Amino acid sequence: MLDTLLSAVAFGVVLASIIAIAAMGFTIQFGLTNVLNLTYGGVMTVGGYAAYLAVSHGASAWWGLPLGAAAGSITTLALGHGLLRRFAARGTKVFEMMMVTLGIGLVVDYTLQALTHNNISQFTVLQSAPIHLGAVIVTPTQVIVTAIGLGIFLGLEALLRLTRIGKALRAMAADPALARACGIRTRRVVIFTWLLSGALCGLAGVVYIINSQSIGYTSGELFLPLVIAAAILGGAGSPSGAVLASLLMGIVTQVVSAYGNASYSTAAGFGLLVVVLLTRPGAVLTKGANEELALS
């Protein structure tokens, strides 16, 4: 019984690592721009495909990580800075912007579907003997995925707390007008945020396909609800909150899978979201009803 619990918690941490990478990127971008960016799932898939193409052409799987990040960055910057900013300049409100991102996300998905002919591609990069940690059995892939998640979290925290651009980003997320008044080059910070968010999104796509060992045009889209839930649960703009929320969701879903019917695992994760939102509504939309889109 205890073995099962320990295994479920360990597997929950692995799942949380994947969710957290994406949720950190999502929440930073959402916290700063106030755009609920539903293209995120599609961009994750783009990152995953960049890694897949690199590896299938002979590159090392490690190269897949920076390539996926780069693909995510470029795509997100193009969509965010090149397209969404124009909508913001026209005074598009938060809900309308969400619908715009939904539409763009579908365009990305359908484009990927057309390009891939709806095929599922394999991405098996590491096959080796499992590691026994007492009663818990994990694979080297899972250990690597968890390490990547932890490394990205620590790196992101350091970036936000110790660097000038990180501090500027936090200042802008707290109060864009004041940050602008203090001389922060807000446009530059917004561009940096799109790049950073896109890089994390692309990385999440790569880590996702490393773990699931396959990629299809809907891979990121199917994962998106978990990412948004974790980002909302953790509080907009809070990477550490996103990590904590990812851990909660990951462990809850895996424990439910281990002890009950796996069909209820995802429902349990979202049930947790509903309970937390009811009891701690401050975790949601920390910007409240603010309709300003800090994109320009």
- Contact status: 94 vs other proteins (CB under 8 A): no
- Contact status: 56 vs other proteins (CB under 8 A): no
Q: Which of 83, 89, 107, 158 contacts other proteins by CB under 8 A?
A: 107
- Contact status: 79 vs other proteins (CB under 8 A): no
Q: 216 vs 14, 22, 201, CA distance in Å? A: 21, 18, 16
Q: 279 vs 137, 266, 272, 275, 283, CA distance in Å? A: 36, 20, 11, 6, 10
- Contact status: 216 vs other proteins (CB under 8 A): yes
Task: Return the number of other C-beta atoms located less than 10 Å from residue 63's C-beta.
Answer: 13
- Contact status: 273 vs other proteins (CB under 8 A): no
If 0-12 CB within 10 Å is exposed, 13-18 middle and 19+ buried, where does residue 191 land? middle
- Contact status: 137 vs other proteins (CB under 8 A): yes
Among the residue ranges 45-53, 177-185, 259-267, 278-286, the one whose residues contact other proteins (CB under 8 A) = 259-267
CB of 118 to other proteins, least distance (A): 5
Task: Return the number of other C-beta atoms located less than 10 Å from residue 82's C-beta.
Answer: 11
Q: Which of 90, 91, 162, 261 contacts other proteins by CB under 8 A?
A: 261
- Contact status: 106 vs other proteins (CB under 8 A): yes
- Contact status: 279 vs other proteins (CB under 8 A): no
- Contact status: 257 vs other proteins (CB under 8 A): yes
- Contact status: 92 vs other proteins (CB under 8 A): no
Task: Return the number of other C-beta atoms located less than 10 Å from residue 289's C-beta.
Answer: 6
If 0-12 CB within 10 Å is exposed, 13-18 middle and 19+ buried, where does residue 10 land? buried
CA–CA gap between residue 230 and residue 224 (Å, rounded): 10
Among the residue ranges 66-74, 81-89, 119-127, 229-237, the one whose residues contact other proteins (CB under 8 A) = 119-127
| 3-class state of residue 129 by DSSP | coil
- Contact status: 101 vs other proteins (CB under 8 A): no
Please, which residues bridge with residue 136 across strands? 133
Task: Return the number of other C-beta atoms located less than 10 Å from residue 266's C-beta.
Answer: 17
Contact residues toward other proteins (CB under 8 A) are 4, 7-8, 11, 14-15, 18-19, 99, 102-103, 106-107, 110, 118-122, 124, 127, 129-130, 137-139, 141-142, 208, 211-214, 216, 218-219, 222-223, 226, 254-255, 257-258, 261-263, 265-266
